[in-house]
Structure 1
């Protein structure tokens, strides 16, 4: 677009009231231009929308300016400056623009530029800036400009940081200077102490030792003031101190003069030291005369030269102290001057920086405050003057510029919008009024003025002061005649409401809507629409009256149109009257026809002539009558044939239409649905009655017919299952498998009872069979064992006869020996009883000793507990004494006596605690020894108890031996007699064995035959187990229960006279009776 425009170099003037607004998206494409923009540039909106915003910039405008605009916006700051715009005809214009971001929901969605007329000064600065960018200025001017720009770009933050850094630097320098001075002072003080004070102290001690301890000790000893031992101790102490102090002095650092003088003093010191050693020998020898000589001449000759030299050495040290002081004083003056210089320089620099900061902030803040006050007092188009500084305050001013520009734009747009809304409301045909929150009138359109002008005469009847030109600010609620409507109109509303009321003989409909502030939802007032419904209300009343009469059945009533004004309402009323006249006749005919149908009477065909829809009604009524007649005829036909049992008869549904056809089809389908399942059920029941079980029904049915199908299928399944289970039992019985059963739980009802009865019957049969089979096996085994046993018994009987003869001879010898043992056992028993009594008495004595030792041990433990309590009391008393001492110390002089008492209490508590510990130690030792003694006595008691028990056991054993010996003697006599009886019984057994062998062989043959008879029945493991349980319950049926009869022959009966056969026959009969009657019946009852 820009390349096709020819530049004219003509500047177009812009009015100060013009505000050019341009909006773009994030890519810089134009999305909105206002009317002023179009009028100034000459472009139309279609040419600009969607184009880059650079098309409206003049080609002479440097690209650096556009880059600066874009970079500033990217940093989320507004750009404010002078721009050169391009018109469609090639002219250009200068504007002072403010470009800001557009945000929605906190997100940047575009950019907006608001431009106003720029001043000549701003245009000249823009030209100079453009030239500077194009390098059209001199080098020194450019250098000065860059330096000025650099100075202007120093931010307030940087300036404050410079002041802070300067203050911090000054503080650091002052701190460093102070620390250096303190360090030097500390070094000097340390040197004075170590190199001057300590040596002076050492020299003074040496001088005092010689003058006081050495000289004074000799003088005091001579005068008898001190004893020889005290004098010797003083001299010894002096010698030790002198050697120590002189060595430490020599080891410390000194000046050259001091070291030289100390070297000269060393011989004098040694001489003086030898003099002190001499005094030590005199004191020890207790030579008074030599002491007097020493005190008057020797001691002074040795010590005076040393004392003079030591004084000279001390003077040198004092001179050194003065020198150190002068050095320290000089260092102090030096560091003080440094500190003053640092503080002065820092104050000057901070003052300069503060002045610069104040100069760059305060005037601009005053200008901002003045402009803000002017903006608060009235709306104006002035902006805060923008300085050359580019700092935080400039950002604030730019933000304020952007805010004010945006507010001015929004205000202008709002004013324009309000003006458009007002113009629209003024031209509206419906009356509209606006009221504030107090229902005071603030606006009314032309239609509202016309309405109230028409009602003014009626309003003045109730409100004589009413005047149309005085309504503004008045409350419109007062003009409403109905009190309830007046209160409703005056009430605060939150949503639109409609009020029908009367005012000055006019029927009005008021639609009241609240007006809110869109930003915060604050209620601003309400808007009321006034609709004059007077004519409509009159017509509505007439129509309502007519409808009321028509509802009441009075169709002859008509609307009186003579009272209605000419117009639409009157025409509608006349049309309603004509409509009623046209409707009454066909409605009457239709009513009569429907009345006949409701009574079950099908009327004759209507032959009267009607037109239009009324003729259609007539034809429809005739068709309805014919259709009902055909439907009734087919229904009668089906009912008669069904009553006669002809269920195959069906009605022809094609003769009917619509729902009537559906009725006939439904009747036919109903008959089909009934006949099919009935035939199916009849056929299946017929097959079942003949014993032919049919297959399951697979056809699909619905509802109750489906239930019939399921029931028949269930019946067929149950019968098939019953027949299958019966066949299983029959086949198993034929094969001898009488233990086979069927599952009765798979059957229901009487079928289950049948299966359970068959199972129970088989159980009753299987029980005896299983028992007989098991018994036969047992009998067979027993018979074999009896046969084998009889053969063995015969051989052993022969051996027994010979053995019995030998045994009888031995038994006689044994009888005499046992009698002697019995006598000895009686005497031993008496001795054992005596020993047992003595052991019991000893055990009682030991038990008493154990009880006594336990009592002593318990007493010792109690004493130990008491001592522990005493120890605890002593500890607590000690704590209390400590607390009392602390409190007495806090009380000072007043608590001194209490402190003494507390100390005594504490001492007593400590002694009590010590005594308690000693007693406790003794008691513990006693307890431990008592405990050991108790253990030993207990061990002795246990040992005694064991001895008593052992003695008792020995006595019991001896007593048992005596008793056994007597019993043996008696028993041997009996055995001797029995041996004779055994001889006779053995002879009888031989005869019985022969007879039993013959009977066993006969029994074995019968058992084999019975086993062959019951082998045809096949039993499962359960029945075999059950038979084994029965045998276990009855010992007579067990294989080991059939034993050889224990026959004892009376002594008086001879072998040949004993009846053997009857006894064996009785035993056989008893076993047979047990097997066949008692046990089988018991097992049968169990089953």
Structure 2
């Protein structure tokens, strides 16, 4: 908001010039103010230096805005926002301010504010914001600090390693689940072995049975039901079918032997022996097959577990190796570039930039080195220009002093010549007039009452007076020329003083330029200026 036409003129003047810059110490006391700040604030530089910066703080600015500013500055961050300032005459002006810490040797020694005139859109948005309630605290800044390259790499590595561990755990868990399934299958195998053992006992009973046929047939039926379960496995189907045939044959022969057939009895004994051999062979086959399956399964599970553990170990090793390479090739060069930029911001241009890193990070490193080199050249050129200005100012001042002394001398001589000429001329005229007067009186005494002689004398007097008037005019012209020369000398002397004043201003600018350049250190252990 512009309160007057004069404020508008000042704001327009500042808008067309450089940024509004001021510096303060850690307590907020102004240590530097550029010309734009002096013009727009309405204070003199002497009135600003040493005063707290809130001398230009407008009462419309809420306290939380400055609390946010100081919070960010104390955390080492920059602050940017739209600020309404108060001028000395009570007027106000809006600026877009960027405030940054001034650091030396890693420590904050003050703050610098760089401001430009705010646009109408920015002013309207700021007025709406400042009229509203206290904004909610933002967590974005803390979150942004957490989302650094280090934390991102750490979180990413932990996530990958967690995936590897979880994947390995699930794989090994699946293997162990397969082991449980194998245990269940072995229980079925053991059940079949038990069935065959029971069958072998039944055959022995049939072989010895001398009772009725009914129990024998019942036993055969029960054994047949058991054998049907084994016949489901094609590996044992042929053996089971052979056992079933022999079991039926044995039951038939056993029935005949009960009838008293001796041949059938002998044959039944032979069949029972064969049947027992077949059952024993099948049992051995089942046990051997089960043992072989268990052994193969255990070996396979052990191999899978070893591969899984090796994969997890290799995966974690690769993550760590990639992390080391990432830190060495990307993070470390970035840290070096950031450190170099921080040093340049602190005014230290003496650091040697290691041209390491590849890709974008290497390009950033090389760009920082190029910027540092350009800054060194610019600072050297500025310092050289300041020294040349000082030398020329010194030579100019010497010449101006000589010219001024010469002009003073010439002026004094002209005044002296004028005075002397006036005095000599006056004396000379007086002497000549006295001489003429005496001559006239003598002639009058000699001529007595001779009228002709008196007329002649009178004519001579008129002629003398005419000549004297002519001489007087010439004398006045001469005096006027002397006065003109004297005035010209005075004008030249004033112009000389103005030139000297301009030279003094150039010297002041040169001194300020040296002070600005002295912020940068281009040679280790020294400062410019």
Q: Scaled by the length of structure 2, what TM-score is found? A: 0.39
Q: Scaled by the length of structure 1, what TM-score is found? A: 0.21
Structure of higher CA gyration radius: 1
Structure with higher RCO (Cα < 8 A, 6+ apart): 2
